[in-house]
Amino acid sequence: MEDIVKNIETWLKKNTYHHSDFWDLRKMVEEKERHGLTISLCIPTLNEENNIAKEVVLFRSELIDRYPLIDEIAVIDSGSEDRTLEVAAEFGADTYLASDILPHLESKRGKGENLWKAIYQLKGDIIVYVDADITNIHPRFIYGLIGPMIYRPEVGYVKAFYDRPLSDTGIVRPSGGGRVTEILTRPIFSLFYPELAAVIQPLSGEYAVRRHILHDIPFPIGYGVETSHLIDIYKKYGMEAFAQTDLDKRVHRNQPTQALGRMAFGILQTFLRRAGDHEKLLVQTELNHYLRQFQVSKGSFEQVEHFIVEDERPPMITIPEYREKFGLS
């Protein structure tokens, strides 16, 4: 246990950054070009027409036109019923419907599906993922994540962390957020993968990954994708592959408690699968995929069932079309 504590303390000091460490964007561009790196931004979306324009305009103007730090901005959509794709295209993003990428594969819906399809569609040596629902969006959400990889070739996966005030009917509360992390993910990491508990926001939707790491891991298509990333990369590369950057504050839409319950149910499925594969525990029964929740209807309690299966895509490197596109023998 003393060794684990020491390892965590050492890792935190060496691999934790603040976005202000990377304020010199001209220097970052020079370093990026010296290493011959290309960097792609993926924004996964579903019904984000009210938010997507601001993100695309900001990132394009600051990080492509002013400082050529990223090489492409792509919106990959799950099948929005609003004008998300049209708006994103109008303001300069490349836009894709996830189901149109590798269309011969069975269509699946979920955020993880969009992230997985981005590996095939985008060209970057580094792919940065940023959610579309951030109301206080800023270029630091990109350069803060890219910075550790530009200056440290051994770092392959950089997670964001931040204060997460909850935006509720226009009122910003000064504390809160990260509820599934603190109630579920951090406790189970502490039990089974204690070094991973050093990742401050393991479920954050903002992170940057080198392609050679990203294409080598499987992808849950739903809520478990971030959890699986951390476990799979940790098992293969150890903690030295990770870094994390403080982005100060992220303001986003508040999720109701029942929605967080569904998220936790999916994450737990993924965790149990990984822990079983790594012989951390023995699961001797087939997992149930029905989550039962309750709501009050006309003065009485009504049961609501949700069928949630954390299906997975295989490592992208196993897909023949991907290997051909990127010249992998």
In this predicted model, what pLDDT tens digit does every residue of 116-144 receive, in sequence order? 999 999 999 999 999 998 989 999 999 99
Q: Which residues pair with 74 in a beta bridge?
A: 42, 94
173 vs 74 pLDDT, higher one:
74
Closest CA to 119 of 101, 97, 143: 101
Residue 323 has a CB neighbour count (10 Å cut-off) of 14
Does 176 have pLDDT greater than 50? no
Tell me the two tokens of residue 10: 């050492």
**Type of residue numbered 102:** L
213 alpha-carbon distance from chain centroid: 14
* pLDDT of 97: 96
Does 53 have pLDDT greater than 80? yes
Helix (DSSP H) and strand (DSSP E) numbers for the chain: 12, 15
192: Cβ contacts below 8 Å, ≥ 6 apart: 275, 280, 281
In this predicted model, what pLDDT tens digit does every residue of 186-245 receive, in sequence order? 999 999 999 999 999 999 999 999 999 999 999 999 999 999 999 999 999 999 999 999
Does 166 have pLDDT greater than 60? no
* pLDDT of 174: 44
DSSP state letter for 63: I
Query: What phi, psi does 174 have (nearest 5°)?
Result: -75, -5
State the burial class of residue 38 (Cβ atoms within 10 Å of its Cβ: 0-12, 13-18, 19+).
middle
pLDDT band at 281 (very low <50, low <70, confident <90, very high): confident
pLDDT band at 255 (very low <50, low <70, confident <90, very high): confident
Residue 20 has a CB neighbour count (10 Å cut-off) of 11
Tell me the two tokens of residue 275: 């822990």
150: Cβ contacts below 8 Å, ≥ 6 apart: 28, 31, 32, 35, 37
Give mean pLDDT, residues 3-25.
94
What span, in angstroms and rounded, lies between the C-alpha atoms of 129 and 42?
5
Does 169 have pLDDT greater than 70? no
Does 17 have pLDDT greater than 60? yes
Tell me the two tokens of residue 136: 């206080």
What span, in angstroms and rounded, lies between the C-alpha atoms of 14 and 112?
30
pLDDT band at 109 (very low <50, low <70, confident <90, very high): confident
pTM for the model: 0.92
Q: What is the mean pLDDT of the chain?
A: 92
Q: Please, where are the H alpha helices in 153-310?
A: 179-180, 186-192, 211-214, 225-237, 257-277
Structural domains present in the chain: 2-325 (3.90.550.10)
* pLDDT of 296: 84
* pLDDT of 177: 46
In this predicted model, what pLDDT tens digit does every residue of 76-108 receive, in sequence order? 999 999 999 999 999 999 999 999 999 999 989
What span, in angstroms and rounded, lies between the C-alpha atoms of 270 and 311?
9
DSSP state letter for 291: E
Q: Which residues pair with 301 in a beta bridge?
A: 296
* pLDDT of 252: 64
Does 280 have pLDDT greater than 60? yes
Does 163 have pLDDT greater than 90? no
Q: Directed axis angle between helix 140-151 and helix 25-34, to 10°?
A: 40
Cβ contact 254:166 at 8 Å: yes
In three-state secondary structure terms, 266 is helix
Cβ contact 68:31 at 8 Å: no
* pLDDT of 298: 77
Cβ contact 78:167 at 8 Å: no
